[in-house]
Amino acid sequence: MNIPQDVSEYQEVRITDQVPALLQIVGDPATDSGTSRSRAPRPANWASAGAPRCAKPRGRLHEYAELFRVLGVDEERERDGVARVVSALRGWRPGLLEQFEGIAEGAGVELSQVVALNARTEIIALGEKPSSECSTLTAEIGDHRYGVQTWDWHVELDPFWHTHTVSGPGLRYAGLTEQGILSKIGVNEAGLALHFNILGHREDRPDGVPMHVLSSVVLSECRSVDEAIELIREAPIASSSAFTMLDAQRAVSVEMSPAGVFVIEAVAGSVQRTNHFQHETPLAAQKSEIYEPDSSERPCSVRARLAEGLPVAPGDLVRVLLTEEASRRSPAAPTCPRATGTGGPPSRRSSPTRRPARSGSSTACPPRPRRGSGAR
């Protein structure tokens, strides 16, 4: 598989008003890879792209520190979480800490700040505030499997995401992430694609590999869905997310949490993933108040649209996830059963506007959040 060399090749189904930055991350040993990430040259058009999109994570550290406080995580809990993550990684993949050290050195920031960025899912899980998150859908179209995803995140952090290609150590991969964070959504040179949705379990804690870091490990070390599942099962998992992964043979959604690793197989050639557990074991201790009822309503809407006709082209698959498209095609929202664990009745929130991302066996297309929507 050939990973696209130019960012324009990622955009066949993008809905955006600007071209994102594309960073070329090259380095082996691991420290060099981290330094490359923080010192990667910025394209000339960045200065005219509105808010500055700098490769260095320094500018966004304050934004994330503020977000942690808003979500109920004070400085002491953040420091403790960072120390626990460092301990877990030192015993599993110490080379990952070398990448963090390279990022910190290149950006001129503290190592603990880089760890907190990469462990933001785990740090945020220490709080109890609600949020609205992402939707993922896979389907078989012709002889290929395709995956699409929205990435709904706080609009204040919009200036800090970028696309990247990563070379060494391990398999080369491309996708999108945020400044200073090793990985998020992507596809590697072996044809393994990975989508990323956060989940919430009552036993979540920062005592394992951060999910954004695990994404990097999977994409750089695994050539297939089967290899990825095997690696995930042996990783120290102490927080919750779902990796929806696809290759030429299969598509699955892997639910990870302190309760274990559970593989959700495709049904009728499709995986539909939002932000609640589908397996009954982790569902029994889900933080339902964090993402419900929004998370259960979204796949219900997706299934209603799919019932009107299966996608015949990748662009059709993308439109299934668009809120704007949904309002035109389905004026009356369907009534959806709610996935609840032990969290009690969740608070109701309106669904934000969602923007699509596509990744499959050959390309990964990043999303861009719309300003004024999707923020909490």
The three-state secondary structure class of 85 is helix
Using 50, 70 and 90 to split pLDDT, how confident is the model at 278?
very high
Confidence of residue 323 (pLDDT cuts 50, 70, 90): low
Judge whether 152 and 374 are in contact, CB under 8 Å.
Answer: yes
* CATH code for the domain in which residue 276 is found: 3.60.60.10
At residue 336, the 3 state secondary structure works out as coil
Residue 374 lies in domain: 1-376
Asked if residues 345 and 316 have their Cβ atoms less than 8 Å apart, the reply is: no
What is the pLDDT averaged over residues 117-126? Answer: 94
- The string of pLDDT tens digits covering residues 194-228 is 999 999 999 999 999 999 999 999 999 999 999 99
Which of 165-179, 238-252, 273-287 shows the lowest mean pLDDT across its residues?
A: 165-179
How far apart, in whole angstroms, are the C-alpha atoms of residue 73 and residue 52? Answer: 27
- The C-alpha atoms of residue 373 and residue 79 are separated, in whole angstroms, by 31
* Number of domains comprising the chain: 1
CA–CA distance, 185 with 243 (Å, rounded to integer): 9
The pLDDT value given to residue 9: 35
pLDDT in tens, 25-69: 776 655 555 555 555 544 443 333 223 333 455 556 788 888 899
Quickly state the pLDDT bin for 237 (edges 50, 70, 90).
very high
DSSP assignment string, 161-228? EEEEEEESSSS-EEEEEETT---SEEEETTS-EEEEEE--BTT--SSS--HHHHHHHHHHH-SSHHHH
Q: Contact, 213 vs 182, CB < 8 A?
A: yes
